Structure 1
Amino acid sequence: MVEAAFYGDDFTGSTDAMVQFARVGLRAVLLVTLLSASELRELAVRYDVIGVAGIARSLPPDEQEVEVRPVLEALRELGPRVLQYKVCSTADSSPTRGSIGRALEIGREVCGPAVVPILVAQPELGRYTVFSHHFAAEAGTIHRLDRQPTMSTHPSTPMHESDLRRHLSHQTSLPLAAVHLTSYPDATVMPGGVGAVVLDALTDEDLRTLGGVILRDGSAGEVRFAIGSGGLSRALGLALRPEGEVVGSGTSGAGGPVLVVSGSQSPRTAEQIEHARLAGWTVLPLADEVAERVVAAFSAGVGGVVVHTNEVAPAKLGWVPGALAEVVRMAAGVGVRRVVVAGGDTSGQVLRQLDVGALELAGGPAPISPGVHRCRAASAVPGVDGLEVLLKPGQLGGVELFTEFQRWSG
């Protein structure tokens, strides 16, 4: 029986949501494409949590609705206790791109007019909400979101406001309220008479408290709609399985060759690419003949190759997902079974180009780095089926992430 379901507005965040549920022992699967109603019902017998990975974070509101509404309607029919619209823990969104406000409106139309909890904080990733103001770590320093070096200058959704109520008020006309830390742990009900309520969280214990509140506050027999990051997924998981963590598996040992395809322009990804270069990896810009160069490098025994998009002209960005997917297919053809896709928007587009149908955890729920998890791809394409895939958000992962993945086993 499905206890929770979610739609992820990008692929990297979707894998994180899946893992947060799996950490407490819930059986979870992540679909890359929406299945038929009968296929979903069959999965609902085998899994506690069903998620669908999407690309809404990169879409304008009209396209976002076409993408999101059918998925929410299909997942609602499975009767989960809660249906999550999964967003990034830096609240990436704007009125014209990846609008969380529009998702809020769609979710209420699908699930009913109950007040929607919004929980964006994810403390283990250095993402906190205090008195509705959001903070995010970068390079070991906690910044208010509108002053965080990466998010304040983000090329698609620059964040100019740290108060999530004010930020979201530009995306919806629904009234917004808040529940603040000073009322915890006695906050047992959500405010009424509003469209949504922004929730503070500073610690894992706050998540545990809020997960219980969200589940208790729902009406019997109704699907509760909620919006939030992997922190919300963890909060719900802890409430659904209060007995706690499942020990993960996976160790550093004898791994195998790794291909990295990157559409990320974040400073952290640049550091990871440079570390790989210094470790002896082949680093190549995406260009017309790069797939053949990648195959030649792996055939010559190179342990790691990075293909990046730093030199792609803006006019050719539409070409990038298909070109990166072709690099992955050709590398898989010479035996490469481990792939990193860097960048939230890039990950979704590349996996769809590769005809990946679903993702499950590879090994156990232990992350290779906070917020970065190994998955196994399921596909009708023989060379793609079974690939071990690491979907990496631009800002996450240690500097040694790529080389560590090369050594990881289990």
Structure 2
Amino acid sequence: MVEVAFYGDDFTGSTDALAQFTRVGLSGVLLVTMPAWDELQVLARQYDVIGVAGVARSLPPDEQEAEIRPILQALRDLGPRFVQYKVCSTADSSPTLGSLGRALEVGRSIFGPAVVPILIAQPDLGRYTVFSHHFAAEAGAIHRLDRQPTMSSHPATPMRESDLRLHLANQTNLRIGAIHLTSYADLPAHDAQSTYDALVLDALTDADLQAIARTILIPPTTPAFAIGSGGLSKALATALTTPTTQQTNHAMPGRDGRDGRAQVGGVAGQVLVVSGSQSPRTAEQIARAVASGWHSLPLTYRPAAVSDGSPAVAAEAVRALNAGAPGVVVHTGEATGRATGELLGAFSKELAAVVREVVRNTQVRRVVVAGGDTSGRVLRDLGVTALEPSPTTPSHLGQGLTLCTAITGDPQLNGTQFLLKPGQLGAPNLFDALRQA
């Protein structure tokens, strides 16, 4: 029976959240599209964790609310102990895009006036909150969020403030307080006496997550609502006092009525990467793959070509793979840094068309999609309905990365393994590491 449900505001973070729960023995599924209520209830009886992967991080507030409100209401009605609004551990958001403030307002309107815990830290990814100020690692160094090279200059949501209380206060009129590490000995009392609508929580180590799990995340009433990263998912998994240890594979039927469980086939050692990420780390990973003999194919934005899915690029990718290339990277270069919304949507449709053609015309069954916003759009364009964590995920891929198998009514795409990669994550040799796994 479902214990916890979550909505992820981007796809890459959603797979990370699911992994946090399944690592402790909970069974879980990640929905790409919301099924009918009857089917959702069936899933709630089969799985301990149900996640919904969304794209709210790339939406303006009104569109964001239109997406998340019915989903959060449906998850509430399933009756889990917790419902999490899963966000990136770099707090990507602004008053005009992916607003955490709007998510907080919607959550309180659905789940009631209880104080909402907000935990953005995720120590295993090098993301820390201390005295409400947030820090994130990059290239082996720890930076305050507003000075972190990637996030301070992010093309969509540049981070100008490291104090998460102020960051959130810029997005809502709700009262944002905090509980600092120095107060953790009195966590229950602090929470009970709070006059705030939400509380930002510090975390520097996994021990801090465990302290949070033992105290304020034990809900007096259910479902309880919280906002946070994969660090919160890890704390919630700890907070579940009777997690099942049964690792049953709950197959979700594909839309054609077939068993949707992953059937991994194809030629080992070939991988397709499609990327809309503008992260320096992704650029480094692409360069490393090209140096190892991968084929690199840049997309050029041409409005007239959007509807045909850039067939020349897809055909070249198919030719290269069938000729024995170790892998192909189809990427958008720096183009998406100049625009958002419409341009990202156009590129994502083209990238999805490349994936479809490659899977149908080669033996490739492992696909990397790089970029949080890109991942969501590509999987939706492909018609993927759900993802399950793959039992064959290589352990050396790194924290925050989970290989998942696709469930879809398309018999050629069904069972394809996807690695949804946030722009900043993964070792420089990630693509070759997956190819050789």
Which of the five TM-score ranges fits, normalised by the shorter chain? Answer: over 0.9
Deviation at 1:219, TM superposition (A): 2.1
1:203-229 deviation digits (Å, cap 9, x = unpaired): 00110111222332x223x21110000
Q: Counterpart of 1:184 in 2: which secondary structure?
A: helix
Aligned AA for 1:390? Answer: L
Distance 1:364 1:77, change over 3 A: farther
Aligned to 1:212: 214
Distance 1:224 1:326, change over 3 A: same
- Identical aligned pairs, as a percentage? 62
1:163-184 deviation digits (Å, cap 9, x = unpaired): 0000000000000111000122
Aligned AA for 1:273? Answer: I
Distance 1:68 1:367, change over 3 A: farther
1:319 to 346, 350, 360: 346
Following the alignment from structure 2 to structure 1, what is the Cα–Cα distance between the partners of residues 396 and 198? 32
1:147-202 deviation digits (Å, cap 9, x = unpaired): 10100111110001000000000000000111000122441241422110000000
Following the alignment from structure 2 to structure 1, what is the Cα–Cα distance between the partners of residues 294 and 333? 17
1:375 to 400, 404, 411: 404
Following the alignment from structure 1 to structure 2, what is the Cα–Cα distance between the partners of residues 328 and 402? 16
Q: Counterpart of 1:2 in 2: which secondary structure?
A: coil
Question: Given the two structures, how large is their TM-score scaled by the length of structure 2?
Answer: 0.88
Following the alignment from structure 2 to structure 1, what is the Cα–Cα distance between the partners of residues 216 and 295? 48
1:310 to 333, 338, 362: 333
Aligned to 1:338: 366
Deviation at 1:50, TM superposition (A): 0.3
Q: Counterpart of 2:149 in 1: which secondary structure?
A: coil
Q: Counterpart of 2:217 in 1: which secondary structure?
A: helix
Aligned AA for 1:154? Answer: H
**Count of matched residue pairs:** 400
Following the alignment from structure 1 to structure 2, what is the Cα–Cα distance between the partners of residues 69 and 263? 28
Of 357-366 and 317-326, the range deviating more from structure 2: 357-366
Following the alignment from structure 1 to structure 2, what is the Cα–Cα distance between the partners of residues 171 and 137? 25
Whether the 8 Å CA contact 2:83–2:223 is kept in 1: the answer is yes
Of 186-195 and 318-327, the range deviating more from structure 2: 186-195
Aligned to 1:265: 278
Following the alignment from structure 1 to structure 2, what is the Cα–Cα distance between the partners of residues 364 and 186? 42
1:82-131 deviation digits (Å, cap 9, x = unpaired): 10000000000000000000000000011111100000000000000000
Following the alignment from structure 2 to structure 1, what is the Cα–Cα distance between the partners of residues 128 and 354? 38
Deviation at 1:364, TM superposition (A): 5.6
Deviation at 1:283, TM superposition (A): 0.8
Deviation at 1:238, TM superposition (A): 1.3
Superposition RMSD on alpha carbons, in Å?
1.8
Q: Counterpart of 1:135 in 2: which secondary structure?
A: strand
- Does residue 1:358 correspond to 2:392, yes or no? no
Gaps of 5+ in 1: 248-253
Whether the 8 Å CA contact 1:367–1:374 is kept in 2: the answer is no
- Does residue 1:279 correspond to 2:298, yes or no? no
Superposition pairs of residues 171-320 of structure 1, within 5 angstroms:
171-189=171-189, 190=191, 191-216=193-218, 218-220=219-221, 222-240=222-240, 255-287=268-300, 288=310, 289-310=312-333, 312=335, 314=338, 316-320=343-347
Aligned to 1:251: none
Aligned to 2:135: 135
Deviation at 1:407, TM superposition (A): 1.2
Distance 1:34 1:244, change over 3 A: closer
Whether the 8 Å CA contact 2:126–2:137 is kept in 1: the answer is yes
Deviation at 1:312, TM superposition (A): 3.9
- Does residue 1:155 correspond to 2:183, yes or no? no
Following the alignment from structure 2 to structure 1, what is the Cα–Cα distance between the partners of residues 378 and 293? 26
